A = this chain, B = another copy of it.
Amino acid sequence: MNNKKYVYAFGGKTAEGKADMKNLLGGKGANLAEMCLLGLPVPAGLTITTECCTDYYDNQCKLPSSLMDEVWAAMKKVETAMGMKYGDSKNPLLMSCRSGARSSMPGMMDTVLNIGLCSETIDGLIKKTNNPRFVYDSYRRLIMMYADVVMEKSEGIEPKDGKGIRKVLDDMLDEYKKQKGYKSDTDLSADDLKLLSEQFKKTIKKVLGSEFPDNAVQQLEGGIKAVFKSWNGKKAISYRRIEGIPDDWGTAVNVQAMVFGNMGDDSATGVAFTRNPATGENVFYGEWLVNAQGEDVVAGIRTPNPLNDDTKNEQNKNLPSLAEIMPKIYKELCDIRNTLEKNYKDMLDIEFTIQEKKLYMLQCRVGKRTGVAAVTMALDMLKEKMIDEKEVIMRVSGEQLEEFLHPILDAANEKSHKVIAKGLPAGPGGTVGVLTLSNEGAMELAKKNIDCILVREETNPEDVEGMRAASGILTARGGMTSHAALVARGWGKCCIVGCDALHIGDKTITIDGKTYNEGDTFSLNGTKGLVYATAVKTMKASESTLYNDFMRLVEKYRTMGVRTNADTPADAQQALDFGAEGIGLFRIEHMFYGENSEEPLRILRNMILSKDNVEARRRYLDALKPHIMNSVRATMEVMDGRPVTFRLIDPPLHEFMPKKEEDIQAAAVQLGITVEDVKKRADEIEEVNPMMGLRGVRLGILYPEITEIQYEALFEATARLINSGKKPHLEIMIPLTITVKELKHQKAICDIIHAQVEKEFNVKIPYTYGTMIEVPRATIVADEIASVADFFSFGTNDLTQMTFGFSRDDVNAIINEYKSTNILKHDPFQTIDVEGVGKLVEMGVIKGRKQKRKLKIGVCGEHGGDPESVKFFYKTGMNYVSCSPFRVPIARLAAAQAAIESDRKE
């Protein structure tokens, strides 16, 4: 039929696979093979490829016809390596069937153990082990697992009473123990277990209408199918959605000889990390249990013993370590640790079992670690000459680096608290504070130095002061690019948005039917989107030497510039501290939000409400100018010598309209018109689709005086700075351009004002004039636009909105559904859509540079702080990315990684 090789055998210090065959054999299978090749003691087995899984699904969930022949051929090798025979009545071999995807999906798929136990083999095994209780216990476990995983879930046999078979059998077991007066499973004797096994089989026949297969051959095939089937189980699918693992990767199946850590006190099982995964310290770190199986360690019923002295802590310090009890085996394990690290050049997470004093390696993989550990290990391994500088940089993810930038919840302590709700992880870090539902409340608490969490349905610009005062923000609605998320991320503030379970009342909130009051203490994990109604411990990964050593290396390899989006001196300073090289986006309109914005906002409002009265408008604009100038000057001063890109006012005017009754009344008084007139005028500038209405450069063309006043403020601020001995580096940026003619129109005004101010201040004012590229049309006519623009800055937020037809205010539910049905891989507002939006970006870059070879090009959308997107921008040849201050280090790291990756490819 086809010539694909589906099965790779391993065992006896040899293997058909190896570590770099992860895509085909899954992580587990590839590493089992590698360990065999390294001569480590691995129970023999075989790996069925991920390709086979894909073929299985493409073929209406049927195994390829050639598969089982290959399996049985490989089983011969396994039998030889283990010196046992599968299904044999005298020396029977038992097998396990486990999943193993390319990327670890712990606990998400099904496993069947003890396969091969049946009437034919039970007696042989009893004779061989001389342990009937062990054999019957294994048998009843197989029956229970098989009925559930293979028969019910995989083969889809529906239980008659609607209750799952697993539950039925569990109940029987409990009932039996109750009748017998047993307290624990260990009280069950071999006879008890034998009897139960027979009863189980009868019940299965009754409930499922089908026999438990008393046949080793059939069992193995059923086990393999069950693992494949579980790739599309509900749990597995939703895990893949969250982790961004493609459905078509498929899982491999590892069929491996069983070894038992539960065959008495000379047996054991354990897990270990070759270095401390929490701190990165170079010590062997692990836990183990005597006379136990793997799942007992993970399940956490018994407190595991420490591996060695380095692993001892408050909980386990009185339990004997493996080093103490089985020093020979511990020594063997230490040698294995060294062999593995030398081979993989990384920290590994291993699983082992000791069966009657013999050590078996069951798993090894690159271990997960905290950010601090990642950086520590990478730098240590550099010193140990295990890896080079480039590899150090590649070893740390943006997410891991982020840990250094915010206070976080103490992970160990967090585990002991109950998550009461989940939302989107919009602002990173962790925080603990008392609930407040109003901006005023937040500000009052802040004055008293009480940390608080501001809870809102969603936020808007009027909430900015409350948001700043709060130590964390929690909203019921909104997506990753909602107002709350954008603002919080900009500030590096802990924030969870779109928390559906949250219902907000007057002074209380309700989650899952439970009511909480203002003043109650909550904790937020903004990195993961978890909400606690209790006080979790927090910790601070401070600005350590570690961080600085690492960033020094990053800087050595970074070539693309990193700027920040900042609109205040404080944000600018924060970004400088984080290594920003300039400001890529200063939004002039941001001076109308937040602190000290009352007066300028009032003037702006009156200007807008002056309608067709050009004189009045001009009067208000004149009054506005000093505010803009001061705001501009203060930030430029902080950035002295570094470029600052000022974007002219962009949003639709109605965003600035008064919403509160008192503000409306104030405006009416100031303008000398009625409250009704204010409302009417505000209504008149409402738009059906404001995102695609009167905003950006369009404002400046319909109301040139709005442009003029901004130019005046920018040039005057620059002139004053120059005259006071500073080195301001002014860049003026026009938003929402769709044709070069808009740019020319606004440039003509600019030229006039520029000449005026130069004359007035008697100083040369150098500046560059550029534009946002954020509307699809601009990317198409980028060549023409480049004839006038000195620089481009891609606004990939808006470009994504218009390229997808996705209003980011509205499509949260759509994007979630699209991700969960696999229509979209990522939220395109988080990670740039390379195939669609990316193509337009590339077109814009190519066309722009064709017109002007040295055109400076950057990006200032939210994507500028997303590592994957930054790498894409690097590839397109951008000069810089710009992102919120707290993303600057992450962007710097991503830029360095992009440079290294591209170097490696060449």
Q: In the bound complex, do residue B745 and residue A821 qualify as a contact, i.e. CB atoms below 8 Å apart?
A: yes
Query: CB-CB < 8 A to A776: which residues of B?
Result: 776, 802-803, 805, 836, 840
Q: In the bound complex, do residue B805 and residue A741 qualify as a contact, i.e. CB atoms below 8 Å apart?
A: no
Q: In the bound complex, do residue B836 and residue A781 qualify as a contact, i.e. CB atoms below 8 Å apart?
A: yes
Q: In the bound complex, do residue A810 and residue B689 qualify as a contact, i.e. CB atoms below 8 Å apart?
A: yes
Q: In the bound complex, do residue A837 and residue B777 qualify as a contact, i.e. CB atoms below 8 Å apart?
A: yes
CB < 8 Å neighbour of A805 from B702, B798, B839: B798
Whether a CB of chain B sits under 8 angstroms from the CB of A387 is no
- What are the nearest 5 A-B pairs in CB distance? A689-B807, A693-B810, A692-B807, A688-B809, A777-B836
Query: CB-CB < 8 A to A818: which residues of B?
Result: 701
Q: In the bound complex, do residue A741 and residue B823 qualify as a contact, i.e. CB atoms below 8 Å apart?
A: yes
Question: Which residue of chain B is the closest to A833 with respect to CB atoms?
Answer: B777
Q: In the bound complex, do residue B805 and residue A803 qualify as a contact, i.e. CB atoms below 8 Å apart?
A: no
CA distance A693 to B805 in the complex (A): 7
Q: In the bound complex, do residue B694 and residue A692 qualify as a contact, i.e. CB atoms below 8 Å apart?
A: no
Q: In the bound complex, do residue B692 and residue A805 qualify as a contact, i.e. CB atoms below 8 Å apart?
A: yes
Distance (whole angstroms) from the CB of A697 to the closest CB of chain B: 10
Whether a CB of chain B sits under 8 angstroms from the CB of A817 is yes
Question: Which residue of chain B is the closest to A818 with respect to CB atoms?
Answer: B701
CA distance A777 to B801 in the complex (A): 10
Whether a CB of chain B sits under 8 angstroms from the CB of A412 is no
Whether a CB of chain B sits under 8 angstroms from the CB of A616 is no
A sample of 30 inter-chain contacts (CB < 8 A) reads A687-B807, A688-B691, A689-B691, A689-B810, A691-B692, A691-B807, A693-B807, A693-B810, A694-B811, A702-B813, A702-B817, A738-B804, A738-B836, A739-B823, A741-B822, A741-B823, A741-B824, A745-B823, A775-B804, A776-B803, A776-B805, A776-B840, A777-B804, A777-B837, A780-B836, A780-B839, A780-B840, A781-B836, A802-B802, A802-B805
CA distance A821 to B801 in the complex (A): 28
Whether a CB of chain B sits under 8 angstroms from the CB of A806 is yes
CA distance A803 to B799 in the complex (A): 9
Whether a CB of chain B sits under 8 angstroms from the CB of A742 is yes
Query: CB-CB < 8 A to A803: which residues of B?
Result: 775-777, 780, 802
CA distance A824 to B698 in the complex (A): 12
CA distance A839 to B736 in the complex (A): 19
CA distance A781 to B741 in the complex (A): 30
Whether a CB of chain B sits under 8 angstroms from the CB of A690 is yes
Given the known inter-chain contacts A701-B817, A836-B777, please indicate yes or no for A805 contacting B694, CB distance below 8 A: no
Distance (whole angstroms) from the CB of A683 to the closest CB of chain B: 13
CA distance A745 to B821 in the complex (A): 9
Whether a CB of chain B sits under 8 angstroms from the CB of A301 is no
Q: In the bound complex, do residue B835 and residue A780 qualify as a contact, i.e. CB atoms below 8 Å apart?
A: yes
Indicate with 1 or 0, residue by residue over A816-845, a CB within 8 angstroms of chain B CB atoms.
011001111000000001011101100000
CA distance A810 to B688 in the complex (A): 7
Q: In the bound complex, do residue A805 and residue B775 qualify as a contact, i.e. CB atoms below 8 Å apart?
A: yes
Distance (whole angstroms) from the CB of A359 to the closest CB of chain B: 48
Q: In the bound complex, do residue B836 and residue A806 qualify as a contact, i.e. CB atoms below 8 Å apart?
A: no
766-797 of chain A: CB within 8 A of chain B = 775-777, 780-781
Q: Footprint of B on A, CB under 8 Å?
A: 687-694, 698, 701-702, 736, 738-739, 741-742, 745, 775-777, 780-781, 798, 801-807, 809-811, 813-814, 817-818, 821-824, 833, 835-837, 839-840
Question: Which residue of chain B is the closest to A743 with respect to CB atoms?
Answer: B823
Distance (whole angstroms) from the CB of A817 to the closest CB of chain B: 6
Give the number of times this chain occurs in the complex, counting copies.
2
CA distance A807 to B694 in the complex (A): 9
Query: CB-CB < 8 A to A775: which residues of B?
Result: 803-805
Question: Which residue of chain B is the closest to A835 with respect to CB atoms?
Answer: B781
Question: Which residue of chain B is the closest to A774 with respect to CB atoms?
Answer: B805
Q: In the bound complex, do residue B688 and residue A690 qualify as a contact, i.e. CB atoms below 8 Å apart?
A: yes
Question: Which residue of chain B is the closest to A736 with respect to CB atoms?
Answer: B805
Query: CB-CB < 8 A to A840: which residues of B?
Result: 776, 780
Q: In the bound complex, do residue A702 and residue B738 qualify as a contact, i.e. CB atoms below 8 Å apart?
A: no
CB < 8 Å neighbour of A692 from B739, B780, B811, B823: B811
Query: CB-CB < 8 A to A698: which residues of B?
Result: 811, 814
CA distance A690 to B687 in the complex (A): 11
| Given A689-B809, A780-B836, A780-B839, 7 new contacts (CB under 8 A) | A687-B807, A689-B692, A692-B805, A692-B810, A702-B813, A739-B824, A777-B836
Q: Which of A688, A739, A776, A839 has the largest number of chain B CB atoms within 10 A?
A: A776
Question: Which residue of chain B is the closest to A810 with respect to CB atoms?
Answer: B693
Query: CB-CB < 8 A to A702: which residues of B?
Result: 813-814, 817
Query: CB-CB < 8 A to A823: which residues of B?
Result: 701, 739, 741-742, 745
CA distance A780 to B818 in the complex (A): 19
CA distance A22 to B222 in the complex (A): 86
CA distance A690 to B688 in the complex (A): 8
Query: CB-CB < 8 A to A693: which residues of B?
Result: 807, 810-811, 814
CA distance A480 to B687 in the complex (A): 17
CA distance A836 to B736 in the complex (A): 15
Q: In the bound complex, do residue A692 and residue B801 qualify as a contact, i.e. CB atoms below 8 Å apart?
A: yes
Question: Which residue of chain B is the closest to A822 with respect to CB atoms?
Answer: B741
Question: Which residue of chain B is the closest to A838 with respect to CB atoms?
Answer: B780
Distance (whole angstroms) from the CB of A223 to the closest CB of chain B: 31
Query: CB-CB < 8 A to A691: which residues of B?
Result: 688-689, 692, 805, 807
Distance (whole angstroms) from the CB of A735 to the closest CB of chain B: 11
Distance (whole angstroms) from the CB of A475 to the closest CB of chain B: 16
Distance (whole angstroms) from the CB of A485 to the closest CB of chain B: 15
Given the known inter-chain contacts A739-B823, A777-B836, A835-B780, please indicate yes or no for A806 contacting B692, CB distance below 8 A: yes
Q: In the bound complex, do residue A813 and residue B694 qualify as a contact, i.e. CB atoms below 8 Å apart?
A: yes
Distance (whole angstroms) from the CB of A461 to the closest CB of chain B: 14
Query: CB-CB < 8 A to A839: which residues of B?
Result: 780
Query: CB-CB < 8 A to A781: which residues of B?
Result: 835-836
CA distance A723 to B781 in the complex (A): 53
Distance (whole angstroms) from the CB of A604 to the closest CB of chain B: 20
Question: Which residue of chain B is the closest to A698 with respect to CB atoms?
Answer: B814
CA distance A199 to B798 in the complex (A): 67
CA distance A833 to B780 in the complex (A): 12
Given the known inter-chain contacts A690-B689, A810-B690, please indicate yes or no for A738 contacting B701, CB distance below 8 A: no
CA distance A803 to B688 in the complex (A): 17
Distance (whole angstroms) from the CB of A785 to the closest CB of chain B: 11
CA distance A781 to B884 in the complex (A): 31
Distance (whole angstroms) from the CB of A553 to the closest CB of chain B: 38
CA distance A776 to B804 in the complex (A): 7
Q: Which of A698, A739, A810, A836 has the largest number of chain B CB atoms within 10 A?
A: A810
Query: CB-CB < 8 A to A739: which residues of B?
Result: 823-824, 836
Query: CB-CB < 8 A to A810: which residues of B?
Result: 687-690, 692-694
Distance (whole angstroms) from the CB of A670 to the closest CB of chain B: 26
Question: Which residue of chain B is the closest to A699 with respect to CB atoms?
Answer: B814
Q: In the bound complex, do residue B688 and residue A807 qualify as a contact, i.e. CB atoms below 8 Å apart?
A: yes
Query: CB-CB < 8 A to A777: which residues of B?
Result: 803-805, 833, 836-837
CA distance A141 to B840 in the complex (A): 62
Q: Which of A777, A822, A836 has the largest number of chain B CB atoms within 10 A?
A: A777
Distance (whole angstroms) from the CB of A783 to the closest CB of chain B: 11
CA distance A739 to B835 in the complex (A): 10
Query: CB-CB < 8 A to A836: which residues of B?
Result: 738-739, 776-777, 780-781
Query: CB-CB < 8 A to A809: which residues of B?
Result: 687-689
CA distance A817 to B805 in the complex (A): 25
CA distance A693 to B801 in the complex (A): 10
CB < 8 Å neighbour of A689 from B689, B745, B813, B822: B689
CA distance A121 to B654 in the complex (A): 68
CA distance A776 to B817 in the complex (A): 21
Question: Which residue of chain B is the closest to A688 with respect to CB atoms?
Answer: B809
CA distance A818 to B780 in the complex (A): 19
Q: Which of A798, A806, A809 has the largest number of chain B CB atoms within 10 A?
A: A806
CA distance A613 to B689 in the complex (A): 29
Query: CB-CB < 8 A to A738: which residues of B?
Result: 804-805, 836
CA distance A745 to B818 in the complex (A): 10
Distance (whole angstroms) from the CB of A813 to the closest CB of chain B: 7
Query: CB-CB < 8 A to A804: which residues of B?
Result: 692, 738, 775, 777
Query: CB-CB < 8 A to A742: which residues of B?
Result: 823
Query: CB-CB < 8 A to A780: which residues of B?
Result: 803, 835-836, 839-840
